[in-house]
Amino acid sequence: MQRNGVIVLVVAAALVAGIGYYSGRKTGLQEARSEALATPAPKGRAITSTAGGAGGTTGNAQSTASTGRPARRMLDSAASNGSAKALPPAGTPLKDTFDELKARADAGDAAAASRLFQDLQHCTEAQRLRSLPAMANRMLDGNLPSSPDDIERSDRQLDRIQRGLEFQQSAATLCEGLSPKQMAALVPSTLNAAQLGDPQAADCYVGANLNAWPDVLDNPNWISDYKNAALPLANAAVQQGDWAMVGMLASANAGSPRSNNMLNQLTGTDVLQAYTYTKLMSLGQPSSTPPSARSTNALSTLSGQLTPEQIQSADAQAQSMYQQYFNATPRQTGQVANAMRTCQAGF
C-alpha cells in the first residue's frame, strides 16, 4: 500500500504541473493557412555509388546526416551558426521571434531556418503531450497496481508522464501565445530547413507521418512538395552519412507495415533496393552489439526473392556506399533510434 500511495502522489503532482501550463490553451490547428516555402526539387531514383546500380537496375537512395543524441541544438550566435547576423537568444518566446526568423529563413538564412524549425517542433511536441493529464487521470481512476509486473509497468508510465510534463513546463515561455497559423508553419519550415542543409530537419521531413501534419487538408500543395522533395533530400542525406535515413529507405522499399510515413508511396516496394539498404545497415552494425534477429531475418527474406547475381551486385553496392558515405565506420549503439526520437523531441 505504501507503493500505491507513492504512485498516487506522483501522478497528482504531475497533474497539477501539467494543468497549470495547459489550462486555457487553444486546441486544433484549423485556422492555419501557411504556404509551403520550398521550390520543388527534381525527382530522382538512381542510387549514386562507385559500385553502380544494384543488379543493373535503378532504385532510390536517400539519407540524412546522423543526429546522435536526441537533444535540441541551441542556435543563438552568429559565430556558432554561420549566420552573418546573430539569432535571438535561445528560449526567447517564439511569438516574438517568429516573423524575423521566417523572413530570414525565406531569404535563405540556414541558421534562422534551423532555429525556426527546432522551435516550432518543440512547441508542436509540447502541444501533443497535453493529453498526459488525462492519461494520469485514467490511471488514478482505475485499480492501483498490486503485482510486481503491474507496478513496474505503472512506474514506466509514470516516468513517461513526468518527463512529458517537465517537457511541457520547459516549453512554457518559448511557446506561449503562438497562433494556430504560426504552429502550422512547422511543415513548410521543416522542408525549408532541410533544403538549406539541416540534417535533423531532413530526417523529420522525409520520415513524416501525414496524419501528424497540422492542417494538411487545407494545404494540398504540401503533398506535392513532399513528392518532389523527399527523395532528393533522402539521397543527399545518405551521401552525408545518415544512418536514420538508410533505415527509413530500407523499410520503405520493403513495403514494411511498420512504416507509417509517406516514403513508401514514393519508393514503391522494391526488393532489390530494400536488400541493398538492409545490407548497408548490417555493415554499419554497432561493434558492441550483435546483429538483431529482425535485421538477419529481413536479409534472409529479401535475399530469397533475388537471384545470386542480384545479391552479389547489391552486396558490392552496399559495401561501396558504406566506404564512400560512412567511411566504413559502424554507427553508435542507439544512433538511429535517437535520431528519430529527436523528431518527437525525445519522446
Render pLDDT for 29-40 as a digit per residue (tens, 0 to 9).
223 223 323 333
Residue 168 within any structural domain of the chain: no
- The pLDDT, as a whole number, for residue 269 is 93
Residue 100: give the domain boundaries: 43-107+177-344
Query: pLDDT-based confidence at 69, cuts 50/70/90?
Result: very low
For residues 333 and 158, which has the higher predicted lDDT (pLDDT)? 333
Q: Is the pLDDT of residue 189 over 70?
A: yes
Q: How far apart are the first and last CA of the chain?
A: 30
- Mean pLDDT, the chain, rounded, equals 75
Residue 297 within any structural domain of the chain: yes
Q: Is the pLDDT of residue 343 over 90?
A: no
Query: pLDDT-based confidence at 50, cuts 50/70/90?
Result: very low
Residue 261 within any structural domain of the chain: yes
Range in 77-81, 128-132, 182-186, 202-206 the model is least confident about: 77-81
Residue 285 CB-density burial (10 A; 0-12 exposed, 13-18 middle, 19+ buried): middle
Query: pLDDT-based confidence at 187, cuts 50/70/90?
Result: very high
Residue 140: all three cell numbers together: 488514478
Residue 121 within any structural domain of the chain: no
| Distance (Å) of CA 138 to CA 143, 144, 158 | 10, 11, 12
Could you report the per-residue pLDDT of 157-177, keeping only the tens digit for each? Answer: 777 666 767 666 767 889 999
Residue 215 within any structural domain of the chain: yes
Cβ atoms of 321 and 237 within 8 Å: the answer is no
Q: Is the pLDDT of residue 276 over 90?
A: yes
* Number of domains into which the chain is organized: 1
Q: Is the pLDDT of residue 10 over 70?
A: no
Share of the chain above pLDDT 90, in %: 44
Could you report the per-residue pLDDT of 78-129, keeping only the tens digit for each? Answer: 434 455 689 999 989 999 999 999 999 999 999 999 999 999 988 988 887 7
Residue 123 within any structural domain of the chain: no
Angle formed at CA 70 by CA 37 and CA 123, multiple of 5 degrees: 50
- The pLDDT, as a whole number, for residue 85 is 85
- The pLDDT, as a whole number, for residue 140 is 61
Q: Which range scores top for mean pLDDT: 43-52, 84-93, 300-309?
A: 300-309
Residue 274 within any structural domain of the chain: yes
Among 188, 190, 227, 248, which residue's Cα sits nearest to residue 66?
A: 248
Helix (H, G, I), strand (E, B) or coil at 229: helix
Could you report the per-residue pLDDT of 237-274, keeping only the tens digit for each? Answer: 999 999 999 999 999 999 876 555 789 989 999 999 99
Residue 256 within any structural domain of the chain: yes
- What is the mean pLDDT of the segment spanning 200-218? 85
- What is the mean pLDDT of the segment spanning 275-286? 95
Cell numbers 537568444 correspond to 89
Q: Count other C-beta atoms under 10 Å from residue 313's C-beta.
A: 21
- The pLDDT, as a whole number, for residue 101 is 97
Q: Is the pLDDT of residue 75 over 50?
A: no
For residues 28 and 178, which has the higher predicted lDDT (pLDDT)? 178
Q: Which range scores top for mean pLDDT: 3-7, 34-38, 206-210?
A: 206-210
Angstrom distance (rounded) from CA 88 to CA 76: 6
Q: Helices (DSSP H) in the chain: which residue ranges? A: 2-22, 78-81, 94-106, 110-128, 132-141, 148-170, 172-175, 180-183, 186-195, 199-206, 221-239, 243-254, 263-267, 271-283, 293-303, 308-326, 335-341
Q: Is the pLDDT of residue 71 over 50?
A: no
- The pLDDT, as a whole number, for residue 38 is 35
